[in-house]
Amino acid sequence: MSVLKINNLTKKFSKKTILNEINLNITGTYGLLGPNGAGKTTLMRVIATIIEQNSGTITYGNLDWKNPNEVRKVIGYLPQHFSIYPTLSVYDCLNHLAILKGIKDAKKRNIEIDYLLAETNLVEAKHKKINQLSGGMLRRVGIAQALLGNPKILIIDEPTAGLDIEERVRFRSLLRKIGKDKIVIISTHIVEDLESVCDHLCVLKNGEILVDGTIQEVCHYAEGYVWETETTLENMKESTHIISQKSSQKGSDVFRILSAHQPVSDAIQVQPNLEDAYLYWIKGEGKIE
């Protein structure tokens, strides 16, 4: 499988820099993690050839993003706010989009659409109108349309936004399955989505990459900075970064804390997870004191 290479990519709107010299080598299932306004969606829209960068290059094997018409032949894209003809059936929508993607043979379209409906668990919804679908089913239609033409690169923005827990789990399973034989780029601010799906990820903030690597590598940076203690909120210092708070069996509260030093006398160090590591980078850019 070829590598999607992004070199020194910069994007500005007016005088504001949205992406600042981004460098990434993307393979497998890759996550873009960051708060709102970090530049995730802008980066995905540049990769999807919807907008053009101001400088820098993107290549995939011999394919160069200077030739957007050729690039679009290998890309599938699901935006965060996916909408499509509300009164058409699922099948008719996919058939129309398949024609737009250049699948001219009606028999081939029918075979491919039926295959994708099965893959996305939408066979029973084949003749339902789009406006009759649940949010989860609509996201699955979005994935099906993105997969039309068997693209080599799949770009998905906020894949589980607005979904309930059951749909979110089902969608993550689908993404894992898809990611076995193509590049899948997922942008989100929901840590659990990437932790259960992605091989590699980067954390973006203010248009810059704070860290890039495997989930294990990203978590490794936060080792020694994550603590747990059973205490009261009143005992916490105002500057303490509280990651989470939950009730213990004793009826008191257990706090998970981000700190370079022991925050209270009975706090113990614990192994960081991806959420811990994400906050380590976002709150202090890897420099928590």
- Whether residue 55 sits in one domain with residue 27: yes
Q: Is residue 252 located within the same domain as residue 204?
A: no
Residue 75 included in any domain = yes
Considering 186, 218, 250, which residue would you say is the last residue of a domain? 218
Residue 191 belongs to a domain: yes
Q: Is residue 287 part of a domain?
A: no
* Distance from C-alpha of 283 to C-alpha of 93, rounded to nearest angstrom: 43
User: Is 118 within a domain?
Assistant: no
Domain of 160?
Answer: 4-86+142-218
Residue 112 in any domain: the answer is: no
How far is CA 78 from each of CA 88, 147, 204, 235, 288, rounded to the nearest angstrom? 19, 9, 20, 46, 36
Supply the Cα-derived Rg of the chain in whole angstroms: 22
Q: Is residue 279 part of a domain?
A: no
Q: Name the pLDDT band for 287 (thresholds 50, 70, 90).
A: low
Instruction: Based on the fold, state whether residues 149 and 259 are members of the same structural domain.
Output: no
pLDDT grade for 70, boundaries at 50, 70 and 90? very high
Would residue 149 count as lying in a domain?
yes
Q: How many domains does the structure of the chain reveal?
A: 2
Q: Is the model's pLDDT at 230 over the cut of 60? A: yes
Specify if 31 maps to a domain: yes
Q: What are phi and psi of 272, to 5 degrees?
A: -75, 145
CATH number for 75: 3.40.50.300
pLDDT in tens, 121-155: 899 999 999 999 988 889 889 999 999 999 999 99
159 plus 249 within the same structural domain? no
Let me know whether 75 and 154 are in one domain: yes
Average the pLDDT over 20-28 and give the result. Answer: 95
